[in-house]
Structure 1
Amino acid sequence: MIDRLYARLMSMIAVGRVVASTALGGRGARRLQVRFDGAEIRDDTPLLNAYGFASRPRAGADVVVLFPGGNRAAGFIVATNDRRYQLELADGECAVHDDLGQRVHLTRAGIVIDGGGRQVTVTNTPKVRIESLLEVTGDVRVGARTFNTHTHPETGSSTGSPA
């Protein structure tokens, strides 16, 4: 009896690796295929993300799976981690990031948005409000005009590069 109880308790929590993931497909929680030590593989394991956050872990990411009552047929994923894409953070910092180098990093000095060499787009908002100084390194483009080299049609003068 004690051995059976011990076995069930030991079966309640497991760490595994993602083998594959699926699109949501209207099924609520995202589903992952998970491999545990040895040959145990679980298909269709739901991933429970915190409200307001969404993720689709890549194959090879670590997962923590809970099995209520030790029932290995009814598990769900409560945490994910991918050691291949970790960020170095100072004490108290946090970030949202992906495997491509894109991130929003709440640093001790301020918020850093890094597109990882890709375009950063602000969409579906009537206005972007900046309440303080906007500092831009590089050119600013509005429509087809650029700040550094545009001309004023009414005068024909060029702004040139700012000093």
Structure 2
Amino acid sequence: MNPREMAQRIMGMLVRGTVSRVNSATKMQTLQLGLLADELKDGMEHFEPYGFTSNPKEGSEGIGGFLAGDRSHGVVLVVADRRYRLPGLDEGEVAIYTHEGSKIVMKNGRIIEVECDEYRVVTKNYSVTADAYGVTAQAVAIDADTARSTCAIDAPDMVINGVSHAAHHHQEHDGPNTGGPL
């Protein structure tokens, strides 16, 4: 191989491209990348970090690698999408995000923020240990066979079977109506 061919191979080892198509049904996800000028490479294996996977949107950018400059079998080393990346993280912070705005941000100060429209946890056991625990919601529902508290519950009212215990009055054993709860 002459020096010119050698230089072309070296220059072609890493190339920037744009994602055209994704096949995420295979064990190793494959991408179609638009590379130099009119070069379209199909079936490029996308190497992702262990434990992490994504299905990049069309138009995402990737870095394709060709070992020894051989264009017959390329791999995609990383895919990024500047259209949806979360800007403005502080040094040391980490985030996982989607194009719709869902995100998990691990912030400095050991704070984790989760933002989404619906949050689901499916597990056999769920345990929270905290110094304080607060819920702010329009409605809260607990669907369980039993519920138990080891502490006093302070509530402005308790409604059981549609009956308010704060405003409920009834006649007490042929006597006067009861007052509200103490």
The verdict on a shared fold, with TM-score over 0.5 as the criterion, is yes
| Structure 1 residue 157, shift from structure 2 partner | 1.5
Paired position in structure 2 for 1:97: 97
| Structure 1 residue 20, shift from structure 2 partner | 0.9
> Which amino acid is 1:52 matched to?
G
> Which amino acid is 1:111 matched to?
I
Paired position in structure 1 for 2:31: 32
Secondary structure in structure 1 of the residue aligned to 2:159: coil
> Which amino acid is 1:127 matched to?
Y
Deviations along 1:72-105, whole A, 9 cap, x unmatched?
1111111111000011211110101110111110
Paired position in structure 2 for 1:10: 11
Deviations along 1:100-142, whole A, 9 cap, x unmatched?
1111100114100111xx2110112312323332222224321
Q: CA RMSD in A?
A: 2.4
> Which amino acid is 2:24 matched to?
A
Q: Hey, what's the Cα distance between the residues in 1 that align with 2:17 and 2:23?
A: 17
Mark the runs of 5 or more structure 2 residues left unpaired by the alignment.
145-154, 168-182
Secondary structure in structure 1 of the residue aligned to 2:10: helix
1:89-128 matches, within 5 Å, as 89-109=89-109, 110-115=111-116, 118-128=117-127
Q: Which has the higher contact order (CA 8 A, sep 6+)?
A: 1
Q: Hey, what's the Cα distance between the residues in 2 that align with 1:77 and 1:35?
A: 12
Larger Rg: 2
Q: Is residue 2:151 matched to residue 1:152? A: no
Mark the runs of 5 or more structure 1 residues left unpaired by the alignment.
none
Secondary structure in structure 1 of the residue aligned to 2:165: coil
| Structure 1 residue 22, shift from structure 2 partner | 1.5
Q: Hey, what's the Cα distance between the residues in 2 that align with 1:52 and 1:100?
A: 22
Q: Hey, what's the Cα distance between the residues in 2 that align with 1:105 and 1:74?
A: 36
Q: Hey, what's the Cα distance between the residues in 1 that align with 2:67 and 2:97?
A: 31
The two structures have a TM-score, normalised by structure 2, of 0.76
In 1, are the aligned partners of 2:20 and 2:59 still within 8 Å (CA)?
A: yes
Provide the aligned length of Structure 1 versus Structure 2.
153
Paired position in structure 2 for 1:131: 130
Cα pair distance change 1:43/1:158, threshold 3 Å? farther
